[in-house]
Amino acid sequence: MNNCRSTDIISAYEHLAQVTARMREAAAKEDWDHVVALETECASVYARLTKIETGAPFDADHQRRKSELICQLLDDDAQIRERVSGQLTSIWRLIEGQPNVDRLRSAYSAGSAEHG
């Protein structure tokens, strides 16, 4: 019974790692719609994992594999966050620049109306 649960838990962590790896790849390509879609899948896998993960002790192989997968998850998460942060910075730059664009557009359209 414990071995079956151990296998289920490791399988869930492996699935989660596969999803976050795909999220990292999508973020690297700046495919934000795909990142969001994968986040939904990630949340579903995580919800399943929290139901089966009881914190009960398992053997050393289970703990080692779980640790490897968690490290992979954390690395993927850090890379995704770095990409998202860069994207958010770009968006804020665009938003902050919009008032200047509006002022220029207004100034030029007012000037062309006077000359028209």
Q: What integer pLDDT is reported at residue 1 of this predicted model?
A: 47
> 44 pLDDT exceeds 80?
yes
pLDDT tens-digit profile of 65-115? 999 999 999 999 999 988 888 877 777 777 776 666 666 667 666 555 554
State what percent of residues in the chain have pLDDT above 90. Answer: 56
**The pTM is what?**
0.73
83 near 28, Cβ under 8 Å? yes
Compute φ and ψ for 50, nearest 5 degrees. Answer: -65, -25
CATH number of the domain bearing residue 31: 1.20.58.380
Q: What integer pLDDT is reported at residue 100 of this predicted model?
A: 66
Domain count, the chain: 1
Give the other-Cβ count within 10 Å of 38's Cβ: 21
DSSP string of 34-103, one letter each residue: HHHHHHHHHHHHHHHHHHH-------HHHHHHHHHHHHHHHHHHHHHHHHHHHHHHHHHHHHHHHHHHHH
Domain range enclosing 30: 2-115
> 27 pLDDT exceeds 90?
yes
d(CA 100, CA 71): 45
Lowest average pLDDT, out of 7-11, 31-35, 48-52, 109-113, goes to: 109-113
